[in-house]
Amino acid sequence: MKRILVVEDEDVIRDFEVINLKRAGYEVVDVPTGEEAIQVFERNPTHFDVAVLDVMMPGMDGFEVCRRIREKNSSIGIIMLTAKSQEMDKVNGLMIGADDYVTKPFSPSELVARVDALHCRVTVAAEKAQAPAPSELKSGPFVLNMKSRTVSKNGRVLELTQVEYQILEYFFNNPNTALGRQDILNKVWGEGYFGDIKIVDVNIRRLRMKLEDAPSKPEFLLTVWGFGYKWVQK
């Protein structure tokens, strides 16, 4: 069963989300506050495949809910709902661990399509973790374990989301090769993704903060100006 957590303080919008996600075949648990979301989530941190979080809520906002969920589960898919005028909300959400965002107002088809795409990525990642595969890919001080879907640097496991892991796996399989932003988007988010390509840049920035000793002067994850990015094999 496809299980999803919906967190939205406005009753009309929450009912709209729940109705359309249930029609699409999801088992939905919905709550009106961030505090209740954390209570539900912490009862079983691995129960949900995807969480849809409104950013602006009284009390605990969506950013804090995202941060707390991500601390306990790196594989769950997280979508943030943001107001069209709040561009920084999108960046902030992605920087603290969200995988995608949907801008209000949105249509039922857009919401379901974005949730479906993220659920598919989460499911594929889980299946890959169970499938026979080369056990490790190595690059300099980094080891990418394809069985546990983890990355370590000098023996220390790094806290990566599944999206970050998938991006890094793509680079490890294509070392010293310039990869276009659109290529990265298609590979990780899927060719049917119709969100902003800036989501690639935000995730690269987040990866650098976790991988590089000096993120502003990267040694491994380099920018190819006007095109995309390149992983330098050392």
Decide if domain 133-231 falls under CATH 1.10.10.10: yes
Which residues, other chains included, contact 104 with Cβ-Cβ below 8 Å and sequence gap of 6+?
A: 13, 81, 82, 83, 84
**166-175 as b/e, with b when 16 or more CB fall inside 10 Å?**
bbbbebbeee
Confidence class for position 132, pLDDT limits 50, 70, 90: low
Residue 89 sits at φ, ψ, to 5 deg, of: -60, -40
Burial status of residue 212 (CB atoms within 10 A of its CB: 0-12, 13-18, 19 or more): middle
pLDDT at 134: 63
Instruction: Give residue 133's pLDDT band: very low, low, confident or very high (50, 70, 90).
Output: low
User: Domain segments of the chain: what residues?
Assistant: 2-127, 133-231
- Predicted confidence at residue 5, as pLDDT, reads 97
Alpha-carbon torsion angle 120, 126, 127, 131, nearest 10 = 150
Please write the tens of the pLDDT for every residue from 84-93: 666 677 778 8
Answer yes or no: is pLDDT of 129 > 70.
no
Strands (E) located in the chain? 2-7, 26-31, 50-54, 77-83, 100-104, 136-139, 142-145, 150-153, 156-158, 178-180, 221-224, 228-231
Q: Specify the pLDDT at position 123.
A: 83
Q: Is pLDDT of 151 > 70?
A: yes
Q: Helix, strand or coil for residue 66? A: helix
2-127 belongs to CATH 3.20.20.70: no
Average pLDDT, the chain: 90
Check whether 107 has a pLDDT greater than 80. yes
The predicted pLDDT at position 204 comes to 96
How far is Cα of residue 125 from the mean position of the Cα atoms in its chain?
12
Question: What was the pLDDT predicted at 131?
Answer: 58
Q: Which residue has the higher pLDDT, 52 or 195?
A: 52
**Predicted TM-score (pTM) of this structure:** 0.73
Contact of 29 with 37, CB cutoff 8 Å: no
